[in-house]
Structure 1
Amino acid sequence: MPAPNSITPKQLLRLIGTPQAPVLIDICLDPDFEADPYLIPGSRRHAAQDFQGLVGLIGDRSAVIVCQKGKKLSQGLVSWLRSEGCNAEYLEGGMYGWRAITDAPRVPANALPERVEGTTLWVTRHRPKIDRIACPWLIRRFVDPTARFLFVAPSEVTSVAEVFGATPFDIENTFWTHREDHCTFDTMLDEFALHTPALDRLATVVRAADTNRHNLAPEAAGLLAVSVGLSRQYRDDHQNLAAGLHLYDALYRWARDGSEEGHDWPTDRKA
């Protein structure tokens, strides 16, 4: 029987990458974190002693508190948070329990850009369609749920990055961009160590649609069509991104749980 106010690593793994994912807060002590500087996807570091800061960070959302072993630090803090009305749980086994799951992804802390005003800030070319929607989705769902994105004219990306301290992506001659025949989405999977069967399957579709190689994945033509349609439907790039996040949420669930499912009508049609 699971402990009260707890969540198992496998239960948490099913939530990560979905809109239902809780706020993930890593409160591992600094020496423990420095010895193993990796984060559960979507989590952020915060001091356990900053109780009011944690309450503000969680707000009215559900949260999972992660310490090294899932013992006194996270259990005590979760009980304290719940006494203040926060919907908080601790991760059973902590980071040790997470590492025990075969192939559970962990994001290298040094891969994350510096935060600007408490969040990672990214900038790219305006009028996004495929890679420039897929990458923000990946960042929001697996790296930094609070990430902000700026869309500007191609000629202004570098200057905007310098002025605002933003990280440029999907633009030539930058770190976060295409490498050989792979997309920026692929680059982010590499650098954030997020290769899983579902994300690799999704990456193939993104790559096929973004580089006009539809032979790589039959779904690419559909992704291209919907992406172009969204870019025509929304003049504002942020509205386009908001709609695109729903699209990639659905594609991720297809890649994770439904890629083998087909459809035909009538349902009793004989082969």
Structure 2
Amino acid sequence: MPAHNTITPEKLARLIALPGSPRIVDLRDSPTEAIPGSQSFASKDPIDWDLPRGASVVAVDLDGQGRAASAAAILRSEGIPAEVLEGGFAAWTAAGLPTVSFAHLPKRHKDGRTWWVTRSRPKVDRIACPWLIRRFVDRDARFLFVAPAEVLTVAVQQQAEPFDLDDERVFWSHHAELCTFDVMVGAFGLGAHVPLVRLAAIVRGADTDRLDVAPEAAGLLAISLGLSRIHSDDHAQLEAGMAVYDALYRWCRDAQGEKHDWTSHRPARGNMPA
């Protein structure tokens, strides 16, 4: 049983990449890989952290014996629910749980966020990729949507990372049979996370008009095209699309074996009331 005010790696793993998941604050110095969705602050003093109202926190250090306990205690004194990851990052990796690599992470702006820019009027990849970044890499990432001809100009002017653009100078784009989402999953070191591999096949099929790649690809394409017609504002469409990918990720993680039809959720006949 975990100690008071701690959370086990296995329990935290069930919460990552989901809406409403706790803020995971990594207190290690200059990590090159981390728990998906975690963030670091320049200051190690929790009083300096700009946390949104209502946030809960999981503090992570190397082995659960360092800064995390005091940071969580200070947060709790401020009325912020806070726990320590039992065993720290070392226990997380020892359990074989997924990590995200920062080898290809763009430089952060002064606001602490990564900035990204892509073509306006997104459909599949340009919604799927922001979802991946916000859920696994940088939950506060900023996305700019501009006309295709303006993407590289805005990238330079605003120091924003371009993605999903048909230009050989852009790293985050289609490579051979892979779509941009595939490239991000691999480059961020998430290629062994089975639910994301399943989701990547669905995204690839929908984004490249190869609907035979995954049975769900046709449904994702239909929903994506419908969202693009409902929303004239790209950011409103992104927010609506986040829920779609949250649901698909959860299905890929937990619900592939579940069936549903007219009778699948009826109680057994022996349990029916007389």
Name the TM tier (shorter chain).
over 0.9
| Distance in structure 1 (CA, Å) of the matches to 2:43 and 2:52 | 13
Aligned counterparts, 1:167-246, within 5 A: 167-172=161-166, 173=168, 174-195=170-191, 196-246=193-243
When the two structures are aligned, how many residues end up with a matched partner?
Answer: 261
Aligned counterparts, 1:154-165, within 5 A: 154-165=148-159
Could you give the per-residue CA deviations for residues 97-128 of structure 1, whole angstroms, max 9, x where no partner exists? 111112x1212223211112320110000100
Identity of aligned residues (%): 52
The corresponding residue for 1:115 is 108
In the TM superposition, what is the alpha-carbon distance from 1:169 to its structure 2 partner? 0.3
The answer to whether the Cα contact below 8 Å between 2:121 and 2:234 also exists between their aligned partners in 1 is yes
Distance 1:154 1:29, change over 3 A: closer
Give the one of 98, 104, 122 matched to 1:105: 98
| Distance in structure 2 (CA, Å) of the matches to 1:251 and 1:216 | 16
| Distance in structure 1 (CA, Å) of the matches to 2:52 and 2:33 | 21
| Distance in structure 1 (CA, Å) of the matches to 2:213 and 2:18 | 25
Does 2:59 match 1:65? yes
| Distance in structure 1 (CA, Å) of the matches to 2:205 and 2:233 | 26
| Distance in structure 1 (CA, Å) of the matches to 2:201 and 2:256 | 13
User: What secondary structure does 1:44 align onto?
Assistant: coil
Paired letter, 1:50: D
Paired letter, 1:16: I
User: What secondary structure does 2:175 align onto?
Assistant: coil
Where in structure 1 do 4 or more consecutive aligned residues deviate above 4 Å? none
| Distance in structure 1 (CA, Å) of the matches to 2:46 and 2:201 | 43
The answer to whether the Cα contact below 8 Å between 1:168 and 1:176 also exists between their aligned partners in 2 is yes
Paired letter, 2:106: P
Paired letter, 1:95: F
Q: What TM-score comes out, normalization by structure 2 length?
A: 0.91
| Distance in structure 2 (CA, Å) of the matches to 1:222 and 1:19 | 22
Could you give the per-residue CA deviations for residues 34-72 of structure 1, whole angstroms, max 9, x where no partner exists? xxx211111122256433222x23543001110001114
The answer to whether the Cα contact below 8 Å between 2:25 and 2:38 also exists between their aligned partners in 1 is yes
Give the one of 32, 40, 43 matched to 1:45: 40
Distance 1:247 1:202, change over 3 A: same
| Distance in structure 1 (CA, Å) of the matches to 2:61 and 2:263 | 52
In the TM superposition, what is the alpha-carbon distance from 1:266 to its structure 2 partner? 4.0
Paired letter, 1:198: P
**Which structure: greater helix fraction?**
1
Give the one of 129, 136, 146 matched to 2:140: 146
RMSD across aligned C-alpha pairs, in angstroms? 1.5
| Distance in structure 1 (CA, Å) of the matches to 2:102 and 2:130 | 18
| Distance in structure 2 (CA, Å) of the matches to 1:221 and 1:91 | 40
The answer to whether the Cα contact below 8 Å between 2:56 and 2:81 also exists between their aligned partners in 1 is yes
| Distance in structure 1 (CA, Å) of the matches to 2:150 and 2:220 | 28
User: What secondary structure does 1:124 align onto?
Assistant: strand
Q: What TM-score comes out, normalization by structure 1 length?
A: 0.92
Paired letter, 1:115: R
5+ unaligned residues in a row in structure 1: which ranges?
Answer: none
The answer to whether the Cα contact below 8 Å between 1:24 and 1:65 also exists between their aligned partners in 2 is yes
| Distance in structure 2 (CA, Å) of the matches to 1:266 and 1:40 | 41
The answer to whether the Cα contact below 8 Å between 2:16 and 2:37 also exists between their aligned partners in 1 is yes
